[in-house]
C-alpha cells in the first residue's frame, strides 16, 4: 500500500521531508475544510497546531493527527511512526 499523508500547506520542510521518503503528500490549505478527508486513507494528517479551528472534533481526536508545532521534520516523522506502531 502506498504511503500517504496530508500536510498543512505552510509546513513546507515537512512536506519535502515526506516526499523525499516516498510518501504521496496531499497539501492541506489553511482555510480548507477538512470534512472531506477520510483519516483511514492516510498514514497521518500533519498540522502545525492541533487547536486549528478548521479541524473537526472527530479529526482532533483521531490517532492520525500529528501536531508539528515546535518540531523539525524528522521529529514529526518519528512522532508519526510511534503512533503507527501503537495501532
Q: Where are the domains of the chain?
A: 4-86
Q: From residue 3, how far is each of 23, 29, 62, 70, 86 by CA, in Å?
A: 5, 20, 18, 24, 17
Residue with cell 508519526: 80
What is the model's pLDDT at position 35?
Answer: 65
Q: Output the nine-digit C-alpha cell for 65.
A: 493527527
Non-local CB neighbours of 9 within 8 Å, separated by 6+ positions: 15, 27, 28, 29, 30
Residue 8 pLDDT > 70, yes or no? yes
d(CA 8, CA 14): 9
The fold of 4-86 is Rossmann fold (3.40.50)
Q: What is the pLDDT of residues 24-48, one digit of tens each?
A: 999 987 656 566 778 889 999 999 9
How many residues comprise the chain?
87
Bridge partners (DSSP) listed for residue 26: 6
Query: Is residue 47 helix, strand or coil?
Result: strand
Mean pLDDT of 58-73: 88
Amino acid at each position: 500500500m502506498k504511503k500517504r499523508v496530508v500536510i498543512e500547506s505552510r509546513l513546507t520542510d515537512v512536506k519535502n521531508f515526506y516526499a523525499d521518503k516516498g510518501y504521496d503528500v496531499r497539501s492541506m490549505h489553511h482555510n480548507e475544510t477538512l470534512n472531506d478527508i477520510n483519516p483511514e486513507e492516510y498514514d497521518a494528517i500533519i498540522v502545525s497546531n492541533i487547536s486549528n479551528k478548521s479541524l473537526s472534533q472527530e479529526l482532533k481526536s483521531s490517532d492520525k493527527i500529528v501536531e508539528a508545532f515546535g518540531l523539525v521534520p524528522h521529529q514529526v516523522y518519528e512522532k508519526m511512526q510511534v503512533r503507527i506502531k501503537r495501532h
